[in-house]
A and B are shown apart, each in its own frame.
Chain A
Amino acid sequence: MNQATTPEILGCEPLIIGHKSRAEITELVAHPLDHFPNKIWFALLAVSLSAFAIGLGCIAWLIYKGIGVWGNNNPVGWGFDIVNFVFWIGIGHAGTLISAILFLFRQKWRCAINRAAEAMTIFAVMCAGIFPAIHVGRVWFAWYLFPLPTQQNLWVNFRSPLLWDVFAVSTYLTVSALFWYMGLVPDLATLRDRTKNPVKKTIYSILSLGWRGASRQWKHYESAYMIFAGLSTPLVLSVHSIVSFDFATSVMPGWHTTIFPPYFVVGAIFGGFAMVLLLLSVTRKVFHFENIITISHLDAMNKIILFCSLVIGLAYATEFFIAWYSSNSFEYYTFVNRMLGPYGWCYWIMVLCNVMAPQIMWFRKYRRNILVMIIVSFLVTIGMWFERFVIIATSLSRDYLPSSWDMYYPTRFDFGVLLGSFGLFFTLYLIFVRVLPALSVSELKGILKSSNPKGEVDDVQA
């Protein structure tokens, strides 16, 4: 075995701790797939599935009775439904950023986290996709949203940002899913080759699409991977920009601002990274991936969280400044109301979680402390959910004519569907880590010293 020094990238930290052979990597990643899950996994799955079932029950009742089972009312036409939608779409962004943008920037450390993050993206977008579908008053006509040529000769309204959403989100889901699946193909082939279980073998054989590991295949694979990374990169920016257009192109005070697209994108990456951190800090512990997803990986992600937090804080401040500077009394009132109005507590939770809490990451000691990062990520996840709530509820509940001002109070069905979306997300993730390799085996092998005869990590000339 080659005893050369392990490649380093995160400052001076090794990418993979210890000297692992290719077989060891394969063993480590395939281990959870080879063994029957333990009781803890089943307990967690039971909890997630129950939450999902509650959500499904709430959705069934919603479709049977009408939107009225939620708390939405006349000034506040959107409540938890769209809050959750924006929240979940945002969560997805970290995965795409890691898999596409970090790939293009040759950030090799992404190899340890990209598979799980990409899976999370797809699951988050699936959760997000529920909400636009069920938030409409007549679900059975939701297909009107697609430009289907029918005898009615009716076309969709291309001026509506909600329609752009339909295209943006469906494109995003498609591209993310394909990208993820393509990355899986070599790993699926590895699994196919080592399994003895005939059922598994059949499934992996079908899914691996006849991958043999030939250099021709690798050549095509890498070109395709590059193309997908190129396709996904603008999506990272466009999807949440378009989601923000739902608000930015409206006339509502507090919504109608040009800062929304960048502000939403950064917010999405912020929330997404927090969710990736939460998931990986648990996954690496349970599956003993500590040497592959090292503390330095987590440290790097914490730096991104800190950076996003600063940008978000700046965005909050800019919004207030512009509200004051514009001399638009409606705009100004909306922002004062955000801070001091009836939903002021939501605003302060948002500031505390999104701006204050991540500041602890200035310290290396805390960046490398698992407990601290779990708490911070958890707070950021809450804070980002509240950010969307604040944007939607405060602007709608007090808009132009004071006569129509009214409060929005969520009902148990609102909470039920939110719980259900988390249930779906964790159910899918729990299944994922048990049936598919949670780490990208082939890419990890690519960053092993032994995989490069010249002792260089980066075999592409800069």
Chain B
Amino acid sequence: MNNFKIDMDSSATPQDDKIATPPAVARNDVALNEGNGLDVTRRGFLSLLGASVALATSACRKPVHKILPFVKEPENLKPGISKYYASTYPLAGTSYGVLVETREGRPIKLEGNPDHPLSQGATHHLAQASILDVYDSDRKKYPTIGASRVSWEQWIEVTSTILKNAQNKNKRVCVLHESSASPTLQEVLRKFSNQFKNISVIEFEPTSSENETIAFEECFGLSSIPQPKLDKASVILSLNSDFLGDPRNNVSSIKEWTKTRKIPLQQNSMSRLYSVESFLSLTGTNADHRLALKPSQLLEFALGLATILIEEYQIGDKNLIPIFEKVSRPTYSSAYSEAFLKTLALDLSENIGKSLVLVGPQESKELHIAGLLLNALLKSFSNTLNLKNYTTRSKNGYGKIKNFLEDLKHNKVDVLVTLGGNPAYHFGEAFSIPAQKIQNNIRLSLYEDETSQVTRYDAPLSHFLESWDDSKPTSTSFSIHQPTLRSLYQSRCTGEMLLEWQAHLENITILPTEAWISEIKNNFKHNWNEILQKGYINVDSTPLALSPINVSAVSRMIDEGKYRSFGLRRPQNDKKNKQDDPSSPHGFDEASNHNDAVIELQFEISHATFDGRFANNGWLQELPHPVTKITWDNVANMSSKTAQTLNLKNEDVIELAYGNKILSLPVFIQQGLAEGVITTQIGYGRTHAGHVGSNIGSNVFPLLMASDFSWSLTQNVSINKTGKTYKIATTQKHADLMGRPIAHEAALDDYKNNPDFPKQDDHSESFDLYKKEHTYPGHKWGMSIDLTSCVGCNACVTACNTENNVPVVGKDQVLKGREMHWIRIDRYYRETEQESPAVIHEPMLCQHCEDAPCENVCPVNATTHSEEGLNEMTYNRCIGTRYCSNNCPYKVRRFNFFDYTDDILTPEELGKNPDVTIRMRGVMEKCTFCVQRIQEARIDAKSHGHERISDGGVKSACQQVCPADAIVFGDLNDPSSQVAKLSKSPHGFHILQHLNTKPSITYLAKIRNPHPNLKEFESL
């Protein structure tokens, strides 16, 4: 709680806050070092009183802000001109390169660094939304001891003394830190820990992929994991792996995967994706074939597949055969599951060396071993798994934490240092109760969060946009973080703090920022300037020397593995199983059907808050989940059959109990889940996230704790219906296409035979009363959106929010259908012959129609057509009749029902794009095709003596961010432009063509690549 005391003459009151050393590269003239300013003296109070009276009496007009020129003009700083700095976006030990757009020293937008192999110019939604994080008014603003504010000097003095005492008296020091891909930080942390004899340094991420590392170590004896080369794989099997949705690697994954699915075909082939999963992930919605299983059935499936490959297709080492004799042949509960497994085995066996099996990072060690075995059988290593490019992650899972929490409980920790992270939220009372008792509890944190409540010495941590750092997420890529903003609050980054503590311990004086930079510089001796410019350098790495898979590890897994408990056994009666029992659920193995009543719980990483760290970010909270379209909540997803069995309806509140932990969640009926499976998202139920993120959803971590961070609970989950209901705010209430020709799709073979199929679906003839077509002598802006490439990742939605200052409206407004997103991704389910629906993601934004229905109905001419084919909104002229929105067949116009921007808290306004007007209440708004970017490009072209903007000279925000390169924007008048060519694609179509609105956006129909043996199940 923020129960700061107004301390009149306490020595703890800082006299001067500005001694905190500014970072070396301070490009900012904005310093908000004042904090909450609650320590007001009597004199100060009186002068404030006088000032406010003076202001109140003369407040009849807006205060005049004068724009003053610089006394000393910083070099290269031109007001109104963006400057870009190469930096890195870090997330839970992974990272990729970004370019930070700054205006007058303030970062306002992130773009992917085109040179960085993990970004290739794109970013995901989290990076886009980080602009809101850095300017979050709820960030921790000053160091505190207990409840009182102190100066940095005091804070460092006190904490250094504590550490010194610990050093001298050999006290037990525990350093708990979050994962980072920074080698320099690792080095500094190592040096720091060397100062102590009795120290344990524990790295922790709740979303740790430790099991993957352990499995790899057991199978290959190495702790470095080769990275997938998705663009080299023809057949991909994903076992609960959401490689298209997981923000730790989805940017590069989407980039690479969609390269193999471009139409027209590259090398006359298209990759095929099979997805076997217990949730409905973004990857599952993009799979050509998908099988929904219970979490407990995944290992059976993987082993069953391996058995078929080894026994039927004689793939792999001979010595595997006896091991797999112990594994039963799979049995099938439906015709589809049988066909799926057999076809998958066939397809993989035909594509040896061109296949790839991906296992979800949070899955069990056993499933990872099975996945590695499959990859070994399919010769994926060195073919589709890059042995030169690998990651080396330390074990940051729950294993070490368990011991640490034990120690904490038994008062064996004397000094606790938490650097980032939020253990009180992740571990709950197991951490917070004993941590509260520790006197010497030191912490650096971005927010006053749950852990701050139990911390005595708490100091603000710098946001990554404010700090120096470096990052080596994989063996071949090395990038740098550079600050693009002077710390808004007096904050420091972890490296600076560690160095400063160390200097205190060694009784020397340093300038922490300079020292930290020089540590980083050590890594880039020759190419410091290059790295500052490019942000990224390619480093050579020695390829992993991979031995054949350790058969005994596989054997051990099969012998002792958990799979026995799933009831895998030899089929008793093969004939019986061949009968297709329609009433039997869509399970995979008959054997596990005997306990259908058993509810299995599957956890997912939150699309919005990740593990809860982004809970206070309104853009992310309001970002619809890419599959469920739910905002502002986590829910219990279950299939309609499960709900029926449990007698539950949508929005019923249930209590899920595991051990003595109870989780209360609203039910959300979701297609494509196996019967008996409930999935939910972590990262909600924060109690001290800030004014946006507190008390949203339910906290899943108690259950994860109770299960030792096992991401699926296959037993002992009980359900209790509470009788209460709870409103879930979704942005799309109807998922069915209603047979309307608005999202065309075809199988690859059908497309080859009949490439212009979408045009045949639309029978309408174009008839125009106006004989003469309107001509556009200059540019005519248009866009093409490739539905085959679009995976629905939401990056464009957040990029648009950032670029166009789209307001956050809150859950109550989303419930009323008043979300403001200018671009949305419509997600449609199509019924298929199996239970998993076929999914189409269709980005929907203003179509900039040539004959726009919105334009002629506006009584005041507030929305008009530009000479370049843009449908423009004039906010100043708009009176808000909403007639244009009613008459828009695409319903892409957004009305400001309230003043959605009046509650922007300082300093959030610093992150707004100064080129885009903030809209007041009562006006309509919508996609502008990033007209501000077009204007910028026009000025740029003119100043370079060009008459026209060249193709690619202007990119819309959604296009620039798109990892799938699904969106192409440009000049339709230029026949050589990419968009003009794509718009003429045979499978291009306009949505609602028959209305003759003549949209400027051409959609390219979705092409799927089903296996011929399974096509009947997809009903294409």
Which residues of A approach B to under 8 Å, CB–CB? Answer: 65-68, 71-78, 135-138, 141-142, 144-145, 154-157, 159-163, 166, 246, 249-252, 329-330, 333, 396, 399-407
Contact = CB atoms under 8 A, between A and B. Distances in A.
Given A157-B860, A160-B858, A138 B897 contact: no
Contact of A157 (B813, B828, B859): B859
Contacts of B828: 402-403
A435 B235 CA distance: 88
Contact of A73 (B817, B859, B997): B817
Contact of B817 (A65, A160, A400, A406): A406
A181 B991 CA distance: 55
A252 B897 contact: no
Contacts of A65: 898
A78 B897 CA distance: 12
B49 interface: no
Given A74-B818, A142-B879, A402-B738, A157 B890 contact: no
Contacts of B816: 68, 71, 73
> Closest 7 A-B residue pairs measured CB to CB?
A137-B880, A137-B922, A68-B897, A77-B882, A404-B891, A73-B817, A403-B826
B922 A138 contact: yes
B922 A159 contact: no
Given A399-B891, A404-B891, 15 more contacts: A67-B882, A68-B897, A68-B898, A76-B817, A136-B881, A145-B859, A145-B860, A154-B860, A155-B861, A156-B861, A157-B856, A160-B883, A330-B740, A401-B992, A406-B733
B817 A77 contact: no
Given A74-B894, A154-B861, A156-B859, A137 B886 contact: no
A75 B922 contact: no
A417 B881 CA distance: 17
Contacts, number: 165
B613 to A, nearest CB: 30
B828 to A, nearest CB: 7
Contacts of A67: 880, 882, 895, 897, 921-922
Contacts of A145: 859-860, 879
B278 interface: no
Given A68-B897, A403-B734, A144 B923 contact: no
A157 B879 CA distance: 13
B17 interface: no
B844 interface: yes
B907 to A, nearest CB: 26
15 contacts: A67-B882, A67-B897, A77-B882, A135-B882, A137-B880, A137-B895, A156-B860, A157-B858, A160-B857, A160-B883, A162-B883, A250-B853, A399-B891, A401-B991, A402-B740
B539 to A, nearest CB: 46
Contacts of A329: 739-740
A399 B897 contact: no
Contact of A138 (B732, B738, B819, B923): B923
B429 interface: no
A154 B877 contact: yes
Interface in B390-449: none
A137 B858 contact: no
Contact of B859 (A163, A396, A403, A406): A163
Interface in B969-999: 991-992, 995, 997
B882 A137 contact: yes
A72 B882 contact: yes
Contacts of A154: 860-861, 877
A162 B882 contact: no
Nearest to B737: A402
Given A137-B880, A138-B879, A138-B923, A401 B859 contact: no
Residue of B737, B885, B886, B899 with most partner-chain A CB within 10 A: B886
Given A136-B879, A160-B883, A72 B897 contact: yes
A252 B887 contact: yes
B598 interface: no
Contacts of A163: 859
B889 interface: yes
Interface in B799-838: 813, 816-819, 824, 826-828
B896 interface: yes
Contact of A135 (B733, B734, B827, B881): B881
Contacts of A156: 859-861
Residue of B898, B922, B923 with most partner-chain A CB within 10 A: B922
A66 B922 contact: yes
Given A68-B898, A157-B858, A251-B995, A401 B844 contact: yes
A251 B896 CA distance: 23
B503 interface: no
Contacts of B890: 400-401, 404
Residue of B738, B828, B894 with most partner-chain A CB within 10 A: B738
B30 interface: no
Contact of A400 (B889, B893, B899): B889
A459 to B, nearest CB: 48
B886 A252 contact: yes
Contacts of B918: none
A334 to B, nearest CB: 11
B818 A66 contact: no
A401 B889 contact: yes
Given A155-B861, A402-B737, A75 B891 contact: yes
Residue of A66, A162, A249 with most partner-chain B CB within 10 A: A66
A163 B859 CA distance: 5
B544 interface: no
Nearest to A144: B860
B410 to A, nearest CB: 55
Interface in B99-142: none
A295 B858 CA distance: 48
A77 B886 contact: yes
Residue of B732, B738, B827, B881 with most partner-chain A CB within 10 A: B881
A178 to B, nearest CB: 26
B222 interface: no
A136 B853 contact: no
B591 to A, nearest CB: 40
B934 interface: no
Contacts of A161: 857
Nearest to B827: A403
A144 B878 CA distance: 9
Nearest to B730: A406
A75 B991 CA distance: 18
Contacts of A162: 857-859, 881, 883
Contacts of B857: 159-162, 249-250
B531 interface: no
Nearest to A142: B879
B546 to A, nearest CB: 47
A74 B859 contact: no
A251 B922 CA distance: 24
A399 B891 CA distance: 9
B736 interface: yes
A401 B742 contact: yes
A77 B733 CA distance: 17
Contacts of A246: 883
Nearest to B857: A160
A144 B992 CA distance: 33
Nearest to B921: A66
Contacts of A74: 817-819, 885, 891, 893-895
Contacts of B887: 250-252
Contacts of B842: 403
A402 B734 contact: yes
Interface in B567-606: none
Interface in B698-756: 732-740, 742
